Structure 1
């Protein structure tokens, strides 16, 4: 199949999700350019021969793609996938702002809740599509990823003006939603129930189900989250959050949460954009979420002191 003309996708963020989506877009014969934050990462990528490796149940997908840094760009970006850490998203898009226009397709696929709304406020001239995915993966090398769980991706716009990129429609498990804010809220709920506990118990998602203490804590987390959801009139699921969290832990049983990957690698986590986002909403609502607060403090302490 010939490469599609004028369908270059730039990907900002080369972690597990960014790499998995580079593989997906490459499967559509789209041209891919990774945007690295600095020359050091760009140089490291060059030593691999510009190879990205993604291993899944279907085998090893190894492909070459272009790479650059923000200060090397020379033309406007037509299509951009943002797959950075949530705490990096605003500053990362700021570095690209001179190369983004109202005509740019910008898909933001990040964890957490609140950053999405901040992007809309800070860049009112840009049109953002937000995505929530249940794809799961983890890094085994700087540019090597295991695609541990192939999931569903929902896309939509908070403003209601963005659309699913047309070429993405050829991918399986892609669905447009008219209420992406609800989807992001539900994703936050699941992440609050699972991610901090995988750090506390140093285990994969599915292993939580076999740890009685973890299950007891997950029940408390879910109850606190549901109280905030009710207070803010944000609908969650038709079944209890705890049941949904257990289901996700089971279906992603082999995955190592991004939060645990970060702690093991000595990196900053997204705990402030996940559990911290819930705690902020609780404070605004005048409600207490003590167990979530304790987990927020625990993960921040681990980031600082190891």
Structure 2
């Protein structure tokens, strides 16, 4: 099976490197011609456990004319969409449609909410799955990625219990869905990813949203690494309040805690396990890039509005992070 990764950030390069090392034909689609040329010429520099691997991959910039060759191929493809929500534009969705065909598997791995609906609508006939990962990765350079922490990857359809994948007017039968999912999980496990097929992906997405809605904006506002966030009484109090507000909104939407620990304990555990990590939102602020705050905390605000609730702390987080971007 051919593998395509749309997005040349940390997670995109991590998945591209590991799958290429597992002998899959991997193509990385990047935002810029410069990164595509660098990856095509020198490959991905993959750093893991103090070992450095040079991993050959194909690479093209999005909208490159070479996309026609990919579309005409009869080989089935799996596409990992790893760009952030701000980059999931109509133009990019059109590009993904142009390099895939009916029966191909597309995995959306964005933070926040709303992305899966966009992907399903834009990609009729494809097997569109959600992916939620806790893998740690840090991009040091346009071609260099470091694997900073082992995690888990949950894969599945957000329409729990659905017997078919629907997109636009096209419907795939349940056997095609099941076959595509099992093939994908097997491929990922052989590439070294702890992969779990889940029929509760909406809950998994909410679970990650709850964590991101607290850690990402507050690390950006306070300019601290994840581990430092709860180690101060004022920051910890704000964490707790933002967590409660977000939890209440998500619970009203159907979210349920996973496992033995409650969501607050899980949040503190994530801070501990990723203590040295710079959150993606803080990294974006430091680079002067657009953040995902409008899709993370802003997504919580929109969900609250739909449910007749309010989320003032999430709204304040959106405003404060956007102010940092100016």
Is TM-score (shorter-chain normalized) higher than 0.5? Answer: yes
- Deviation at 1:90? 4.5
Give the SS at the match of 1:234. coil
Report what 2:208 is aligned to.
187
Report what 2:188 is aligned to.
168
**How do residues 11-50 of structure 1 correspond to structure 2 at under 5 angstroms?**
11-45=5-39, 49-50=41-42
Report what 1:53 is aligned to.
45
Q: Is the 8 Å Cα contact of residues 130 and 180 (structure 1) preserved in structure 2?
A: yes
Structure 2 distance, partners of 1:75, 1:172, is 26
1:97 corresponds to 2:97: yes
TM-score by length of 1: 0.90
Deviations 1:141-193 (A, max 9, x none): 22222222221111001244351413223234111101111111101011111
Q: Is the 8 Å Cα contact of residues 90 and 119 (structure 1) preserved in structure 2?
A: no
Give the SS at the match of 1:274. helix
TM-score by length of 2: 0.85
1:87 corresponds to 2:107: no
Give the SS at the match of 2:293. coil
Tell me which of 266, 273, 281 is aligned to 1:259: 281
Deviations 1:234-281 (A, max 9, x none): 223454322111111111112111111111111001111111100111
Q: Is the 8 Å Cα contact of residues 138 and 146 (structure 1) preserved in structure 2?
A: yes
1:66 corresponds to 2:86: no
**How do residues 97-246 of structure 1 correspond to structure 2 at under 5 angstroms?**
97-159=97-159, 160=162, 161=177, 163-164=181-182, 165=184, 166-170=186-190, 171-237=192-258, 239-246=261-268
Q: Is the 8 Å Cα contact of residues 135 and 149 (structure 2) preserved in structure 1?
A: yes
Deviations 1:88-128 (A, max 9, x none): 23432312312311221212222111111222233333221
- Deviation at 1:79? 2.2
Structure 2 distance, partners of 1:192, 1:272, is 10
Report what 2:172 is aligned to.
none
Report what 2:165 is aligned to.
none
Shift in alpha-carbon separation, 1:293–1:41, aligned structure 2, 3 A:
same
Report what 1:8 is aligned to.
2
Give the SS at the match of 2:12. helix
| CA RMSD between the two structures | 1.9
Q: Is the 8 Å Cα contact of residues 153 and 193 (structure 2) preserved in structure 1?
A: no
Q: Is the 8 Å Cα contact of residues 4 and 27 (structure 2) preserved in structure 1?
A: yes
Structure 2 distance, partners of 1:98, 1:141, is 29
Give the SS at the match of 1:272. helix
Structure 2 distance, partners of 1:231, 1:158, is 18
Report what 2:173 is aligned to.
none
Report what 2:70 is aligned to.
75
Give the SS at the match of 1:203. coil
